[in-house]
Structure 1
């Protein structure tokens, strides 16, 4: 009887041992799976381990349209993105957050945070989720989209989007030049609050499309004062000096537009020739693919369908 019990007891010990080791083995497998679900993104501040397929992204910047365009779920955005009419549908149920409201960001349980390099509480944000920041203007608008594509593990999709946009913009630019002339100049002016601004070739408001993609010409005065800095503040009195043959006027709904009632403004050649095309200022300060598509359609209609 004792001889029969010994093999039985040994078998029982092996079963118990196997069961006790199972969770550990599962944990090791899970750990390997988790590791394989991350990628290393080479950010401007060094390598960052981020989710290979992020599902809950918080944006503390103006890159919202880039992320939406690549089909990645957004759970929190900055106030400028939230109030951008271009993204009204996509962000309807998305929370508004800021770099100072860490508790709200924690509640959203993000697996990735994207922001500008000057955001506050960066080290604390890194403790909540992998955080990647970009310096505004360090790379051009198309390279920026490609970088975000790399970050989200969607580089191929981002590159295709860039190639398609460049083709459309170049074709539209050729059509516009054929109509307005090779030497026609275009100014991009914005009315915001009580101030007027004129922009260079890389400050959103469609400047990248007009000057970089379409190669339309900038007035010499604009080139002198705004090309290097990106923008220049104007007074209504000197506006005629900066107005090109065509003017894109970005207007915010609450801006002071009394300058448009002055003789100085009314006597600008572009105004007299009905060559001023007014664009909604809300949302114009973005340069993501969704915004670029919207602005490209606006330029095509303004220059070619009149």
Structure 2
């Protein structure tokens, strides 16, 4: 059993069922460390390295796709819409952060680097200042009640919205940031970006 729990009574109850390993939340901050960590834990380091080799090849292919349609100076933001505000995310807190900023190596805004890419990986953003956190492209996480998000006049004034460069993400699909999720997200994001670039050229 693998758990992030630090509660002794929970761990003891798990240990009665099977050998238990505690891995605190946030132990791994990138794909390579996580895969190698589990490879070592399960005595499968060779399999871990083989997986990483395939991962690198697939990510490089996704990155190459994006480079064909995106200029290096174009910026990307990861936002989530709620009833009263937005949330901004960094490169290690789900919503596609690792896939966007690490795997695909897409450029964040300076404010994103400063405020969302250290120990703090998310923050609430009022609707009035969302423009400060909105890059040329926006990955926007939405729930069931705000799909096809139209927003208010401030949202509609954002360059990413005007240029049809907002990519909606369903929350229950993109919350995750385990290695398999990151690989799939990077490939899906690359396809989204390429498809949207082709649409916008027409």
TM over 0.5: yes
Residue 245 in structure 1 maps to residue 136 in structure 2: yes
Residue 140 in structure 1 maps to residue 24 in structure 2: no
Cα contact 1:209–1:292 (8 A) shared by 2: yes
- Note closer, same or farther for the CA distance 1:258–1:214 as it changes in structure 2 (3 Å cut): closer
Q: Distance in 1 between matches of 2:151 and 2:88?
A: 19
- Note closer, same or farther for the CA distance 1:286–1:118 as it changes in structure 2 (3 Å cut): farther
Residue 114 in structure 1 maps to residue 5 in structure 2: no
Provide TM-score, normalisation by structure 2: 0.84
Residue 233 in structure 1 maps to residue 135 in structure 2: no
Report the equivalent of 2:13: 124
Q: Distance in 2 between matches of 1:183 and 1:253?
A: 33
Q: Distance in 1 between matches of 2:51 and 2:82?
A: 31
How many residue pairs get aligned? The number is: 193
Cα contact 1:145–1:288 (8 A) shared by 2: no
Cα contact 2:34–2:179 (8 A) shared by 1: no
Q: Deviation of residue 237 (structure 1)? A: 1.7
Cα contact 1:177–1:216 (8 A) shared by 2: no
Cα contact 2:75–2:107 (8 A) shared by 1: yes
Provide TM-score, normalisation by structure 1: 0.57
Output aligned runs, 1:145-164, within 5 Å: 145-164=35-54
Cα contact 1:250–1:281 (8 A) shared by 2: yes
Secondary structure, counterpart of 2:22 in structure 1 = strand
Report the equivalent of 1:265: 155
Output aligned runs, 1:2-21, within 5 Å: none
- Note closer, same or farther for the CA distance 1:239–1:223 as it changes in structure 2 (3 Å cut): same
Give the structure with higher Rg (CA): 1
Residue 276 in structure 1 maps to residue 166 in structure 2: yes
